[in-house]
Structure 1
Amino acid sequence: MERGRKKPILELTCSVRTHIGSDDEAYSSCFQLEDDIGNKGFRLTRDLPRAGAKALAKNLRVLLPKVLPLSEILRYAINHYRNKMMKRPAPKGSGPGLNLKSGIDHFCVHPGGRAIIDEVGKSLALNDHDLEPARMALHRFGNTSSGGLWYVLGYMEAKKLLKKGDTILMISLGAGFKCNNCVWKVMKDLEDKNVWKDCIDHYPPNTISNPFSEKFGWINDESMNFARREDYISRLYTNNN
């Protein structure tokens, strides 16, 4: 290494990409198209959470054996075999059955919406502390697609949560439908306030409720496959009269 060159702050230790576009439901759950007057946008259907869960599960079946200790893999395999022989179903809310924290210290969850964060948290049996960075990134910067992961990572750093030797599972979801997950190793203590420097001291806030949810909750109406500009204007006019 050349003298004076900065040492890396993160090391990529594992990366797995999963694509389930051959599944019709997954393929059409997040689709770019034009409305009837030519405005481009993304149509997100009610199948999206189910497609995300399917892609995530398929991805983790490949990734987790690469990053979790052998003792945890064996414990899970023994319990799974025992339950199968005794015909006992897995308890509800048990997540993947593996103790992810035996090999992962932090979870950088795709901040693509409250439902996405909650579903990933439920699937992996994560607690509020684990999901706080993703929820705060969504609250502060909104849904910036997979690019939002760096705001999530930045929040962890600004809060001085990342210490040398820690591991981070980064979970990314997107149209296709695809799931790209990777594991980072922290190479040194991180505490740069980065893009969060002007507000990190005020996070987390007392509440992250959306003040617009009551007024604009109709956007998620099941009968709407695509929200158009005229729909916003029409509904706003109705609500104000």
Structure 2
Amino acid sequence: MELSMIVLAGLALLCPLFFVWKLLNQWRDPGGCYIIGYECHKPAEDRKLDTEQCGDIIKRNKNLTLEDYRFLLRMFVRAGIGEETYGPRNIIAGREDSPTLTDAISEMEEFFFETLDKLFAKTGVSPSEINILVLNVSMLAPTPSLAARIINHYKMREDIKVFNISGMGCSASVVSLSAIQNIFISHKDSLAIMVTAESMAPNWYTGKDRSMILTNCLFRSGGCSILLTNKPSLKGRALFKLKHLVTTNLGAIDEAYQCAMQTEDEHGRKGFNLNKSLPSVAARGMIENLKVMAPKVLPIREQVRYIVSRYVKKWRKGKGVHVEGEESKGGVNFKTGVDHFCLHAGGRAVIDGVGESLRLSEFDLEPTRMALYRFGNTSASSLWYVLSYMEAKKRLKKGDRVMMISFGAGFMCNSCLWEVVRDLEDENVWKDCLERYPPKTLVNPFMEKFSWINDENLNETMLEAFRMM
């Protein structure tokens, strides 16, 4: 009997200890993933797409009707981009109808070597020290791979672990991070390079399908190279530490799979189709993703408050009691566990939608809006332009927590949480223009230049004159 009591007492003691161990295990450092440095691409000045240049490109498309021109103007007005974004050289030269493989490779290599040269110089790390290379470019997969071109150019080591990711769109940065995080678990004391961009040169749509021509209004050239490590000896030099990462893939649902897809129009012109179900799919993806992320990032008090508020709301609904304003107060407050929000700069509507869902202020959304206005939607690399804006504005202090949220084809919603390891104020891609941001008012240059095209009295003769300007 005494032995049984001792066993029971031991179990009673071990059970809470086991619970505590499980809890700590859930919050443990998943592989120790740190950012040592990152460099966003700033293309050459002759690649800027100002209003005049955009107008010329639009006028070259002889497939458009007057209504199509008006539609494009409205999309430019709503897009939230300025006139300092960048495009591929073949588009600026007027060869969007006949892009070559050389155009595509040149666009990528110009970005690769500009950012990687700066990254290696700034961090003092040699290309021969890199153990892992993960590259994501969704719409270009040549042979040899783009990753192989980087390895050849920098003469990297023979045993480098290399991964070339394609087809994941704007969400690919966090997917690449997930791959590196998992590799770090089994490969200690390693250095990894992550390269993230999109190929615009061969993917400019030249038709008139409105669900496909939207991408011409939003997507611009850009990219980022990031140096990561799990070396204990380099933690003191780190900028950020990866705390949590969650990927959500809705690809099994037909509507989600088809809402953002590279395809051809009825005339065989290749483009990227964004259909009307995209907003609802993105909302569903974000909800599913944040269900998993929320318990990892929110303090216990906020989780308890949310659970209690849900049950109180259900009870009141059952009793037929309605409290004015209750709906707006019922959601999770992510700002209780996150200091900065680094959102995908997919377009003004995307930013507005995510901001409203997470109850973010204009101060919270400013970095994303400015990245969109200055650089456009640079696909998977847009998160890093947003992050570099925060750093340039000296918002990132030691201990701050930064949450990244991205969306992409598949359909995917991915998020991750970074902890700032030290106060950050390094110069970056914003250094030459930071003083102008945020402007007092976000003037839309496209409306100022081409507002007359909205005149309902325009006829086909005037339209032809517009084409000939």
Rate the CA distance shift 1:120–1:3 in 2: closer, same or farther, 3 A: closer
Q: CA deviation at 1:25?
A: 2.2
1:183 aligned residue: 417
Q: Counterpart amino acid of 1:40?
A: K
Rate the CA distance shift 1:138–1:182 in 2: closer, same or farther, 3 A: same
Structure 2: gaps of 5 or more residues: 1-230, 454-459
Question: Aligned runs of 1:117-196 on 2, under 5 Å?
Answer: 117-196=351-430
- Structure 1 residues 31-40 or 48-57, which shifts more? 31-40
Q: CA deviation at 1:95?
A: 7.5
C-alpha contact 2:306 2:332 (8 A) present in aligned 1 = yes
C-alpha contact 1:111 1:143 (8 A) present in aligned 2 = yes
1:44 aligned residue: 274
Rate the CA distance shift 1:113–1:7 in 2: closer, same or farther, 3 A: same
1:11 aligned residue: 241
Q: CA deviation at 1:24?
A: 2.3
How many angstroms apart in 1 are the aligned matches of 2:418 and 2:336? 15
Residue aligned with 1:86, SS: helix
Find the partner of 2:338 among 104, 112, 116: 104
C-alpha contact 2:342 2:368 (8 A) present in aligned 1 = yes
TM-score by length of 1: 0.84
Residue aligned with 2:328, SS: coil
Question: Aligned runs of 1:54-65 on 2, under 5 Å?
Answer: 54-65=284-295
How many angstroms apart in 2 are the aligned matches of 1:66 and 1:31? 32
Number of residue pairs aligned between Structure 1 and Structure 2: 224
How many angstroms apart in 1 are the aligned matches of 2:446 and 2:387? 27
**What root-mean-square deviation, in Å, do the aligned CA atoms of Structure 1 and Structure 2 show?**
2.6
1:70 aligned residue: 300
Q: Counterpart amino acid of 2:386?
A: V
- Structure 1 residues 90-99 or 65-74, which shifts more? 90-99
Q: CA deviation at 1:38?
A: 4.0
How many angstroms apart in 2 are the aligned matches of 1:161 and 1:4? 24
Q: CA deviation at 1:2?
A: 7.6
How many angstroms apart in 1 are the aligned matches of 2:354 and 2:235? 38
Residues 193-240 of structure 1 deviation map (CA, whole Å, 9 limit, x = unaligned): 300011001100122243225849x9xxxxxxxxxxxxxxx9x94572
How many angstroms apart in 2 are the aligned matches of 1:90 and 1:176? 39
How many angstroms apart in 1 are the aligned matches of 2:414 and 2:329? 19
Taking only the aligned residue pairs, the percentage that are identical comes to: 51
How many angstroms apart in 2 are the aligned matches of 1:49 and 1:142? 19
| 2:262 aligned with 1:32 | yes
Residue aligned with 2:261, SS: strand
Give the structure with higher Rg (CA).
2
Q: CA deviation at 1:34?
A: 2.1
| 2:308 aligned with 1:82 | no
How many angstroms apart in 2 are the aligned matches of 1:92 and 1:26? 31
C-alpha contact 2:298 2:336 (8 A) present in aligned 1 = yes
Rate the CA distance shift 1:177–1:2 in 2: closer, same or farther, 3 A: closer
Q: Counterpart amino acid of 1:20?
A: L
How many angstroms apart in 2 are the aligned matches of 1:73 and 1:81? 13
TM-score by length of 2: 0.45
Structure 1: gaps of 5 or more residues: 219-233
C-alpha contact 2:310 2:330 (8 A) present in aligned 1 = no
C-alpha contact 2:397 2:424 (8 A) present in aligned 1 = yes
Residue aligned with 1:176, SS: coil
